[in-house]
Structure 1
Amino acid sequence: MTELPRPARVAVIGGTGWIGRHLPAAFAERGHEVLALARNEAAHLPPGAFRRLDLTTAGPGALAELLREERIGIVVNATDGANATDGWDRSDEEMIAANVHAVEGLLKALAELPRSPRLVHLGSMHEYGPVPDGTLMDETLTPAPVNVYTRSRLAGTRAVLDAARSGRVSAVVLRLANVCGPHPSSAAFLGTLLSRLRAAAAGEPGVRLTVARGARRDFVDVRDVARAVVLAAASPVNGRAVNIGSGVATPLQELVDLFLGVSGLPAGAVEQDLRPVAGLGGDWMRVDNRRAARLLGWSPRVPLRTSLADMWHA
């Protein structure tokens, strides 16, 4: 495995988000320092570890200058058009601006630098779209996204892969399954579930949660994701997409029951409203991790129960 230069300066765009906040500790284990780039500062960041940046409005020239000034050797793009600040209630134009145009601007900025930093771009398994139940989702699947969010995410991924394959940047894309673990985004299903359980724990009566009937999804712990990012940054792999997940398709009803168990709440504390729910991809997701193991030396380590318990206690 190729090692990153020591010490490496790592810029995490979206560094105050759910995944971004776990990356400093993961990179620090390898002796690297992380600078968070985001619109809003976060209380958990130490002094000097933050620079204000909106990737949707920062021009390539200004971004290139910031990366040059901070002596950045690795860039992680952990931004997402649907995030804890903006949520899902965004126009098609806003989604495209965040997931496509901002990525194109980032690629132009990297190409302007005399020595382009290594780029790890975080994509989504939802870019593949719905697949038949039982499918083990590997990287040979032809993406078929079904809405503007997933289509825009796929367009961002393709822009990164095209730039890498043409030699303009050194980059790898990690397509992530559903993330779980401490400090979830409030825009995510698990963030909603956590808030409902906390309401129930506080004595609020009649707490309800809408759960997609029959859906089975792959959930990977955020710290396993952070470890995959560090391995991808150090890897010589270029112009490839790598799927990252637990390799287990967990029924959502089972997930809710498991979360109730680790929280110590009684089984009926939250009423599950089971109904068909339009998802980003489909009702089935199980990730094939063999490419991640072969190219990055990565495999999931954190069990789902541990991930949920840590999320509850964080």
Structure 2
Amino acid sequence: MRVVVLGATGSVGRQVCATYAARGWEVHGVARRPPARPDGHRFTALDLAVAAPERIAEVVGAPPADVVVNAAGGWGDTEEEMSHSHLRLVRRLLDALALVPDGPRLVHLGSVHEYGPVPADTLLREDRPPAPVTPYARIKRETSAAVLDAARAGALEAVVLRAANMTGPHPPQESFLAALLVRIRAALADGGRLKLTVADARRDFVDVRDVARAVFLAGQAPRAGGSVVNIGRGEAVPVGDVVGWLIEASGFPPSRVDRRAADVRSKGGDWTRLDIGQARRLLSWSPQIGLRDSVRSMWRTD
């Protein structure tokens, strides 16, 4: 069995590669640049947002892949930049998969932020109409919609996983927690104080390795085709708790931490909690890694 992982060097992609390899699959990673440390998998350096569909089809189809995972997509300061690295990429990918005979199943990584801001205590189910308000969330919604439209038109087999905020090893550099890691390390190195501004918000968090396991299961689940599936813990956890666990894991002295509250400025409002019942039913998946342990692993492996 062969899987092609797009965005193989990113936070999610590297865990997806490891998950498939541990289960005996042949793994072919694709990203703009090779991994810093060779992982033993076949790898192709390719900018998917500008590559011709024929070139992407060649990577996917020779030899034929059983599953393609789209964990790719960069970050940008403008909606145009994010559209280039997400929506343009997905459109080229869909064109490429149409060229592959007996095409593989596509597992596309979406985001909880596609739902948009919701009132506190809302349980987010997959049938809730998305109402994203930020550029990132709108673009992620458009990419998921493009994949689902193609699947429902019979052009390919696909599953969209709408993932919660992720913790665990190697967080993406653009994330709040990755930035916090950098600040903690700097304060430890210079002996100074750590000044934090923490929003009074609650988020659904899930370990990136649990997400990778969901990706693996989605690639084979017979009843999941054409579906959106939420992947989270089904809990709304105070962001301040997650921050506290990361500081605790670092060993930073609490007496040198200055914390104050702030307004919420994020991609999805001040509350997220996913209904993960469909993940249990369609994928036989549920989270296995405790959130506190996940945050500790973030510190140890960054």
Q: TM-score, normalised by structure 1?
A: 0.92
In structure 2, the CA distance between the partners of 1:207 and 1:265, relative to structure 1 (3 Å rule), is closer
Following TM superposition, the consecutive aligned residue runs of length 4 or more in structure 1 with deviations greater than 3 angstroms are none
**Structure 1 residue 70: deviation in Å?**
4.1
Q: Is the 8 A contact 2:30 2:45 kept in 1?
A: yes
Question: Which of 91-100 and 175-184 deviates more?
Answer: 91-100
Q: Is the 8 A contact 2:79 2:139 kept in 1?
A: no
In structure 2, the CA distance between the partners of 1:170 and 1:269, relative to structure 1 (3 Å rule), is farther
Instruction: Determine the structure 1 residue equivalent to 2:50.
Output: 57
**Distance of 1:271 and 1:38 partners within structure 2:** 39
Q: Give the letter for the 1:191 counterpart.
A: A
In structure 2, the CA distance between the partners of 1:54 and 1:252, relative to structure 1 (3 Å rule), is same
Pick the aligned partner of 1:292 from 273, 276, 279. 279
**Distance of 2:132 and 2:104 partners within structure 1:** 30
Query: Superposed, which structure 2 residues align to 1:62-211 within 5 Å?
Result: 62-82=55-75, 88=76, 90-211=77-198
**Distance of 1:267 and 1:207 partners within structure 2:** 9
Q: Is the 8 A contact 1:121 1:171 kept in 2?
A: yes
Instruction: Determine the structure 2 residue equivalent to 1:223.
Output: 209
**Structure 1 residue 80: deviation in Å?**
2.5
**Distance of 1:9 and 1:269 partners within structure 2:** 50
**Distance of 1:48 and 1:276 partners within structure 2:** 44
Instruction: Determine the structure 1 residue equivalent to 2:225.
Output: 238
Q: Give the letter for the 2:134 counterpart.
A: N
Q: Is the 8 A contact 1:184 1:190 kept in 2?
A: yes
Q: TM-score, normalised by structure 2?
A: 0.95
- State the secondary structure of the residue aligned to 1:202: helix
**Distance of 1:308 and 1:156 partners within structure 2:** 29
- State the secondary structure of the residue aligned to 1:228: helix
Aligned Cα root-mean-square deviation (Å): 1.4
Q: Is the 8 A contact 2:232 2:287 kept in 1?
A: yes
**Distance of 1:301 and 1:125 partners within structure 2:** 19
Amino-acid identity (%):
49
**Distance of 2:128 and 2:89 partners within structure 1:** 26
**Structure 1 residue 206: deviation in Å?**
3.1
Structure 1: gaps spanning 5 or more residues: 1-7, 83-87
**Structure 1 residue 147: deviation in Å?**
1.6
**Distance of 2:143 and 2:43 partners within structure 1:** 25
**Distance of 1:287 and 1:268 partners within structure 2:** 35
**Distance of 1:307 and 1:40 partners within structure 2:** 27
Q: Is the 8 A contact 1:24 1:33 kept in 2?
A: no
Aligned residues: 300
